[in-house]
Structure 1
Amino acid sequence: MKSMILVVEDDKAVRNLITTTLETQGYAFVTAEKGSDAISAAVSYRPDVMILDLGLPDIDGVEIIKKVRSWSNNPIIVVSARSEDRDKIDALDAGADDYLTKPFSVEELLARIRVALRKMNYDNSPVKNSPVFVNGSLKIDYSAGCVYVDGREIHLTPIEYKLLCLLARNVGKVLTHNYILREVWVNALESDTPSLRVFMATLRKKIEKNPSRPEYIQTHVGVGYRMIRLQTEEESASEKDE
């Protein structure tokens, strides 16, 4: 069954570029030019992924994210000309999973869609609630509170462990600095972001083979962090066969 993508974009040229790209890749899609139509389409079609522009003529995209998030957890990828960190943070804090700034390459958009679909499949699978999380050579045994890389146990501080578990439980999703601070330190302030960067750096040194070129934890400068969902050999083979 084809994955269904909802494209919310009022610029005809950009909308046609996205839909043509989706069509050539075999995705099913539906489009909306206004926010009100986007909400109706999200209810009617229950798309697997929403691609959303923020600057719509009737409703701001951030409000659409909030409304959709009241009933759906399926991935939302923002594609917007708004490039300021505050715009990205507002969209991600509202519930968007990813943020792509215009102009963008279709190859990158397709890659973000594939990541979003893998995240959705993971969220809907029994693995999501498994006592063990496996991603590439990284393994988290939640019940034992242990972390392994390449089968070797890695000793983390309590804060590092909480950070890693938070990213793992939201694999594929960009988490803003403020969100992470609230979840890990509860009463943390935005001014505590430098401390978060220090803890993230020490965590990377322990789990990444090359911390300067991390494969697990991706930095979104000025915004936050995301754990990348690494493909298994079976998933790579499946994509090649499609």
Structure 2
Amino acid sequence: MEVLVVEDDPKLRSVLSSTAEIGGFNTREAASGSEAISLVSQGVGDVVLLDLGLPDYDGRELLIVLRQLSDRPILVVSGRGSERERVEALDLGADDFIAKPFMPGELLARIRASLRRYGKPSAAAELQDLPSDTAARLPVAIGPFLMDPFDQSVSFNGGKARFSEAEYRILGVLAAASQGIVSRAELLAALYGDHAPSASKIVDVYISRIRAKLRAIPGGQNILLTVPSSGWRLLAPSEIALKAGRHE
């Protein structure tokens, strides 16, 4: 089965695609509404993950167009999480609404549920025999980490540490950035969505706690870097190996 990911943010598009692939699905990607319409018209995707904040289309208009083109499941994945916006999306033809930030296991469970409602078997057939609670909480590989939503733990380099919900969410955003710099505003948005404060030192507190827990994992003591006046990033595997070699 194939998932079409419609998202203009390359970082979030990568996270959505990698999560679907871990769940056993093939993926195709669209970075704009026009590209999504073209792909859906060609029959691409058994289910669509749709962001409403695209640069060339109002999300509501695009949802109507896609629904007219196809009866495949459409799951809105959006930071616009108010009740009014959820109801509006469902009334316009969406099959489900998933608010950002989301847990990977929940996203996979929602995809499988939408396919079952449409009478389409999931490609990840081995998941069907698992208890639903287990199937919805499978570990997901993001960046250098194996992130397990079941206990909000992160495995890296043979070690493992558990994190609070906020810490786990921040680390997931950093890992999904593929060593790119993540700003304070982006991390605040991951924590609070559309209601994020414009400035807050709470991120520094969480970063400090994350660093303390990473120190317990071999090679984790220097993996999270502060980039002055910009934000934070994780080291690339090659940088981690280079640091380790200098300390031998």
Using the size of structure 2 for normalisation, the TM-score is: 0.48
Using the size of structure 1 for normalisation, the TM-score is: 0.49
